[in-house]
Amino acid sequence: MIQVDDRDGIRTITLNRPETGNVLNVGLVGELSHAVSGCETADGPKVLVLRGGAQVFCAGGDFQAAAAGDDLDPATLYDLWTRLATGPFVSVAVVSGRVNAGGVGLAAACDLVLADDSASFTLSELLFGLYPACVLPFLSRRIGGQRSHYLTLSTQAIGAAQALAWGLADAVESPVDGLLRKHLLRLRHLDKAAIGRYKQYRSELDGVIDGARPLALDANRRMFADPAIKAGISRYVAEGKFPWEA
């Protein structure tokens, strides 16, 4: 489900489920968590680069798994994002193509988001009677409450230029590989212990992620336990129809 490459103190993790849009399920999140753990040790890689596909970075949660009752524990996903946001390494999301729902949370949790011109970001949850409870603490930390509110309510995609203007992307350039190389020239020389101390300070300074965790997990679990929402997801998987469609 993922590919991992270690080179010169940099761990590159590539999401490798193109047939599903790199959706987040139990297996993928488990593999990601294991790969991230290798960067948390004192002698582990100091930079973690997270990549998706050329057309889709990550399409969000796995509705087929949810419809089958194989729900991903939101705590597992929230804790993975927390580790990307606060761990003693620099996490870099390299984004091409579509980023949706939980994929937005995955990118927003990273320290840096580098995107190419094809990148687009969408929160589609309200179309299914859900809302991005676990995504919002990470997204609001990046772009603020009102812009996160707008993305949630509008369910519309914003392109790379808008994401850059709002702070969801930190830099945009095509091809994105050149942009990544420019950043890695500096990042690879940072002291790992210093990275860890700084990120710990930053997480304590705002307190958003840890403070929001109980509320976010409770909200997520209540939504996915709602029979009407579960029926709407199952119908979408089976028929490709949104809940309001006849």
Alpha helix segments (H runs only) across the chain: 26-37, 63-67, 74-86, 102-108, 135-143, 145-154, 160-166, 176-187, 192-206, 208-224, 227-239
> What is the residue extent of each domain of the chain?
2-175
Active site residue 19: no
Taking all residues of the chain, what is their mean pLDDT, rounded to a whole number? 97
* High-pLDDT (> 70) share of the chain, %: 100
What value does the mean pLDDT take over residues 92-104? 98
pLDDT digits (tens, 9 = 90+) for 4-15: 999 999 999 999
Q: Given a cut of 90, is residue 99 above it in pLDDT?
A: yes
For residue 5, the model assigns a pLDDT of 98
For residue 132, the model assigns a pLDDT of 98
For residue 246, the model assigns a pLDDT of 77
* Type of residue at 239: E
Q: Which of 62, 71, 111, 170 is catalytic?
A: 62
Active site residue 218: no
Name the band, by pLDDT with cuts 50, 70 and 90, for residue 27.
very high
pLDDT digits (tens, 9 = 90+) for 157-172: 999 999 999 999 999 9
Q: Class for domain 2-175, per CATH? A: alpha beta
Q: Is 27 helix (H, G, I), strand (E, B) or coil?
A: helix
- DSSP letter at 24 equals B
Which phi and psi angles does 114 have, rounded to 5°? -110, 130
CA separation for the pair 242, 131 (Å, rounded):
15
Note every long-range contact of 194-198, with CB atoms under 8 Å and residues 24 or more positions apart, other chains counting.
Answer: 195/46, 195/88, 195/89, 195/90, 196/87, 196/88, 196/89
Q: Is 140 helix (H, G, I), strand (E, B) or coil?
A: helix
Q: Which of 71, 111, 116, 125 is catalytic?
A: 125
For residue 70, the model assigns a pLDDT of 87
Tokens of 167: 């702070």
Name the band, by pLDDT with cuts 50, 70 and 90, for residue 71.
confident
Residues 85 and 109: beta-carbon distance below 8 Å: yes
